[in-house]
Amino acid sequence: MKSIVIQQPGKLVIEERPLPAPGPGEVRVRVKRAGICGSDVHIFHGHNPFAKYPRTIGHEFFGHIDAVGEGVDISRTGERIVGDPVISCGHCYPCRIGKPNVCRELQVIGVHRDGGFSEYVTLPAQNAWCVPEGISDDEAAMVEPFTIAANICSQMSPAELDIALVYGAGPMGLTIIQALRGVYGVREIIVADKIDERLAMAKHNGADRIINNAHTDLSQQLAGVMPTLIIDAACHPAILPEAIALASPAGRIGILGFSDAPCTITQQAITSKELSLFSSRLNSRRFPMVIEWMKRRNIDALKLITHHYAFQDVMNAMDVFENNPKECCKVLLEF
Ligand code: NAI
Ligand code: MN
Ligand code: ZN
């Protein structure tokens, strides 16, 4: 089989590898579609501290089961599935309280073990979620990115009274905007980004108001509007202090970033308004939730997909994804 392998930082090769056999409790999937994510690019450049090389990347993948391992129901063969990249131990504290996404022995497919940028991938059977026929192959490849939105929104409980502010109109911001609009029905969605083309995508995906904060301060442009729910999907360290200052009393702030740069916040700014802070990493078994959103047409994942490439053309695909944010949002590889 052919696999897209980062042999070492900066070196991507399409390798011929032996077909893997599914282990006990695992399935093997013939991959059809896989989405490129910022974290794939980070592993390529050697900027992901968890990645070990060589590594087949890719954690957003769709395909069908073509073989099952010991203990897995043979009738699952042929099932259309999307892969949950979160592999957890099942018995540590976070696993026991329903947060396998921060398992103490967390293994992420495409990061800690070989991923979905490959003609075939193996994964635990319980990580392979069945996709109904009404959901297309392209949409199915988008379930994983929407689980990021599902995970943070499930924690923050957006509601009708909320005035939401979303920082960043990249793929992550757009999935969150779609969820806030189509699933939670918040009162207003304001989106800030520094790129006009990205803001146009935000509008197309359900934003009510867009603000370019490249040159003018966001607080000035909000002119006294106090968002009640703020999600940082841009993840610059300067955003959290700003969000704390902008938030309504009793507001909630959610962060998704992994920057290790410090930022300055004060207890007074948080406590005087009794703000709640949330953070969210990957997803805690949110696949059924997102598949349901797709079935009910609460979200339209196809709106995010701007490019398709054959997997053999992965270098061009990664290049467009990384260097053309004005035109490119989500890129799918076809296997
Ligand atoms: P992206 O880089 O495509 O999008 C970020 C957007 O934010 C860009 O459009 C950029 O112009 C904008 N931006 C940057 N600084 C800004 C600022 N100060 N104010 C307003 N807008 C600003 O990235 P993508 O794929 O949408 O991911 C966003 C972030 O989410 C990344 O930092 C990524 O690491 C993080 N992430 C976190 C996950 C989690 O589970 N916690 C999962 C996936 C992504
Ligand atoms: Mn991703
Ligand atoms: Zn665990």
**92 inside domain:** yes
Q: Do 10 and 79 belong to one domain?
A: yes
- Site to substitute for ligand 1 among 203, 256, 306, most atoms within 8 A of C-beta: 256
CA of 281 to the centre of ligand 3 (A): 14
3-class DSSP state for residue 267? helix
Pair of tokens at residue 124: 């635990």
Q: What is the mean pLDDT of the chain?
A: 98
Angle 196-170-99 (CA atoms, 0-180°, nearest 5)?
155
What mean pLDDT do residues 223-241 have?
98
C-alpha 162 – ligand 2 centre gap (Å): 27
- Confidence class for position 178, pLDDT limits 50, 70, 90: very high
Residue 263 has pLDDT above 90, yes or no: yes
Question: 51 with 111: CB under 8 angstroms?
Answer: yes
The 10s digit of each residue's pLDDT in 276-287 is: 999 999 999 999
What's the total number of domains in the chain? 2
Question: pTM of the prediction?
Answer: 0.98
Angstrom distance (rounded) from CA 1 to CA 63: 15
User: How far from each other are the two terminal CA atoms of the chain, in whole angstroms?
Assistant: 11
**In ligand 1, which atom is closest to the CA atom of 198?**
9
> What number is the average pLDDT over the span 85-104?
98
CA–centroid distance, residue 172 to ligand 1 (Å):
6
pLDDT (mean) for 221-229: 97
Closest-lying ligand 1 atom to the alpha carbon of residue 173: 26
Q: Which ligand is nearest to the CA of 85?
A: 2
Relative to the alpha carbon of 47, which ligand is closest? 1
What's the pLDDT score for residue 50?
A: 86
What whole-number percentage of the chain has pLDDT above 90? 99
Average pLDDT over residues 305-331: 98
Indicate if the pLDDT at residue 49 is higher than 90. no
Shared domain check, 112 and 169? no
Which residues span the domain enclosing 159? 149-279
Across residues 148-169, what is the average pLDDT? 98
Considering the domain boundaries, does residue 95 fall inside one? yes
Evaluate whether residue 141 is within a structural domain: no
CATH number at residue 316: 3.90.180.10
160 and 260 share one domain: yes
Does a structural domain hold residue 140? no
Q: What's the average model confidence in pLDDT over 267-276?
A: 98
